[in-house]
Structure 1
Amino acid sequence: MNERDFADLAVGHALHALTEADERAYQEALAGNPHWDHHVREAADTATAISSAIEPVEPPPSVRAALFARISDLPQEPAASNASSAAADQGRDDEDYAAAGTAPVAPTRAAEPARPSPASGWGARRWFALAASFAAVLVLGFGAVTVSQLFTPPAAVVALEQIEKAPDAQSATATMADGTVATAHWSPSTGQSVLVTDGMPALADGTTYELWFVRGETPIAAGTFEPDADGNATAVLQGEMHVGDIIAVTIEPAGGSPDGTPSSEPVVAVATA
């Protein structure tokens, strides 16, 4: 099992939505890879945050109808049939049963979702589709927050984790005159670099922060980002970092510099050498 599949199972485990087979697979994978336990904590924290942050609401009837429509789309186990036992139940002998043809078998219980086969992928994904249906109701209270944002770590967070686990991980920190603290993280083996900021000033409407690799005298655009209300951000730099680059941040028009060069002096500069 790879780490991505385990992360899917961790979500299902946090929602108490795994089948017995998937729960065993989850426990075995966790026992063999204890360093993956951060996925478990993140999933549990997210589930707790959702339950504590949302006021109970009565969902509209259309949501209930949509949920049951989603459930009905899941693969179902075929109803079990046994000709000889059915004939015995109806008091028929084998000869009469054969002459009468196959009689329909009345179901004695509701059909259950089929267990996953090795080719169908982890059952957690099917359960996650149901969980997403429930979460869609909860998201009504989160405005623009999406289900994927709630359950999937942002790409920048994933990249930072990969860098920190790499044997050649490096970092450098700089504190700006306005109190902003910025730390650059990078790893040549992963080919990734991330800037983590704390206390970035709020921007005027129509502007954004833009990242740059400054290589000698040449600035190379590396993407834009928006800090949260506290000025905190974790942003992946787009492109390849070279040893000795300065990682800089400038204030640019919304969407980034129109001509591919900085239009202001850097508000953040972190030397990596």
Structure 2
Amino acid sequence: MQDIAAVDAHCHVIAEDREAYPRNPIGGVESKWSQARPVGAADLIEAMDKAGIARAVVVQASTAYGHDNSYVADSVAAHPDRFSGVFSVDMLAPDAPEQLAYWHSRGLQGARLFTTGSTMPGQASWLADERSYPAWAWAEEHKLPLCVQMQPEGIPPLRDLLERFPDATVVLDHCARPDLSEGSPYDAARELFDLSRYEGVVLKVTERNLVASTKAPADPESFLGRLVLEFGAERLMWGSNFPAAEDDLPTLTETSRRITDILSEDVRHQFFQGTADRLYPGAAA
């Protein structure tokens, strides 16, 4: 199944040139992974070729560049056949809708809301702040997917937003980082499963989630199997989290293929390609 993982929906790029692309991380502290494992656009393409990945969605490295999306935009412009891009903005800024429009005009196909992470622990309280409503309205009107890096504590305010903006498309990075430590029936993830009633919610399943499914990857009692049952394969997509994840891209890809090997061919195709193609079609589509 070497060609099944055609689209990696969650990669990052870090420029070697710090003068052209200065670091300005959200929270003021650069992530350890971006310092230890910086991977530029050319390096990412080389890794993709080794892993058998045709296209990648490059997500803004917020813990390196904050809301300056220049390197992501330049990388997508230089390699439109290999990359799609997701940018970051300050959703509370008065000009947030204009910023969404600007970066979208640069060829980027989604925005990222960074409300938690390795350098910003805990769940930020601004997610459903009414000052963000104009930006949410712009994204909803222009069908721009909003990718949210969040924790389970962010689900209640997210529900409020989904009620207010029912046509918005929301992609949850790492499935909103649910606690899977107690195993099936995953009661701690019940609020996540409940989000399936909102048609615009899509889950991005990364190595953080798949490793927790290795005991029974195709069983409905496993986390991955439960996601397929609750959301359907058309609302799930795979992302490697490279290079934030410590393994190299071929290893991350092969591990994900192995874990999902028992799933049906149609489900795997949707998971590894179809959903990402729909949301982030890229220049080749």
TM norm structure 1: 0.25
Compare the two structures and name the one with the higher helix fraction. 2
Structure showing greater relative contact order (alpha-carbon pairs closer than 8 Å, 6 or more residues apart): 2
